[in-house]
Amino acid sequence: MGKYLFFFMSCLLLGSCAAQSKSVLIEDVEETVTIENLRYYLYFPEDYEERANEKFPLLLFLHGGGESGDSLATLKSNGPPKLIAEGKQFPFLILAPQNPHKKKWWNTRAVMQLLDTVISNNRVDTNRVYLTGLSRGGGAAWELVVQYPDKFAALAVVCGMTPLPYASWINKELPIWVFHGTEDQSVPYSESEEMVKKLKSMGYPVKLTTYEGVGHNSWVQAYTTQELYDWLMLQEKKK
């Protein structure tokens, strides 16, 4: 009796498996909405109000992983926000959002929505919108110029991750300046070196500043280089 019961149960199971093995492809659609709360600093040049009939360039700055979270004040520890806190004046607006997720990548779509809102609500020259980022923010900056190839007039990346396939998708007229330390243990120097080599071989206007013996904190030297900001101010999208 036992062997017949086993045979019967086996047939049921095999039948069930056979029925489940028939694949069905269903076509459907779902509208998704992602909400991101982005804290940010927005810097205005000292003479912004005086020059009421003029439009100004804008620099979008994306910080590294260490400044992620819910304390906006941490943004003042590196990059342009640090320099502003120390009293440096800039000739353009600076938008510095904060990634609220300590362990997650930048939500680049949310960043672009914020950027567009700031541009529409202020006197911004849309032909002179610049982008820069360090470390995790540098990687996100590479991603942004791929996703939005006609948005920015110049790109400056400091020790950012650089997937080589991105090279084929970036606007070939985009001026790019890359900074990296040779002793970087977090994001290897080779990331930037290989990306710049690839871009140059494809005719891109790109240059690399190498900091010999410097580790991951190459942003300290990069963002205190006045030539960087002078270079940015010379860049403008071709109309």
Please check whether residue 27 lies inside any domain of the structure.
no
Reported as a pLDDT band with limits 50, 70 and 90, residue 4 is very low
User: What is the DSSP track for 190-210?
Assistant: HHHHHHHHHHHHTT--EEEEE
Please check whether residue 145 lies inside any domain of the structure.
yes
User: What is the DSSP track for 92-131?
Assistant: SEEEEE--S-SSS---HHHHHHHHHHHHHHTTEEEEEEEE
Please check whether residue 212 lies inside any domain of the structure.
yes
Q: Comparing 87 with 13, which gets the higher pLDDT?
A: 87
Please check whether residue 8 lies inside any domain of the structure.
no
Cα separation, 137 vs 152, in Å, equals: 16
Mean pLDDT of 52-71: 96
Q: What is the CATH number of the domain that holds 78?
A: 3.40.50.1820
Please check whether residue 166 lies inside any domain of the structure.
yes
Domain total for the chain? 1
Assess whether pLDDT exceeds 60 at residue 112: yes
* CB neighbour burial string for 157-168, b if at least 16 within 10 angstroms, e if fewer: bbbbbbeeebbe
Please check whether residue 213 lies inside any domain of the structure.
yes
Assess whether pLDDT exceeds 80 at residue 51: yes
192-225 pLDDT, tens digit per residue, is: 999 999 999 999 999 999 999 999 999 999 999 9
At 10, the amino acid letter reads S
Cα separation, 84 vs 73, in Å, equals: 12
Assess whether pLDDT exceeds 80 at residue 3: no
Please check whether residue 227 lies inside any domain of the structure.
yes
Residue 50 DSSP class: T
Q: Which residues pair with 47 in a beta bridge?
A: none
Assess whether pLDDT exceeds 70 at residue 231: yes
Instruction: Specify the range with the lowest mean pLDDT, choosing from 30-39, 62-71, 141-150, 200-209.
Output: 30-39
Q: What is the pLDDT of residue 238?
A: 79
Determine how β-strand 154-158 pairs with β-strand 93-97: unpaired
Cα separation, 71 vs 41, in Å, equals: 12
Q: What is the pLDDT of residue 35?
A: 83
Q: Give whole-number Cα distances, 69 to 11, 40, 97, in Å.
A: 57, 12, 11
pLDDT above 90 covers a percentage of the chain that reads 82
Please check whether residue 170 lies inside any domain of the structure.
yes
Assess whether pLDDT exceeds 70 at residue 5: no
Residue 90: domain span: 57-234
Cα separation, 35 vs 231, in Å, equals: 36
Cβ atoms within 10 Å, residue 219: 24
Of 122, 117, 83, 146, the residue nearest 131 (C-alpha):
146
Assess whether pLDDT exceeds 50 at residue 79: yes
At 142, the amino acid letter reads W
Cβ atoms within 10 Å, residue 55: 14
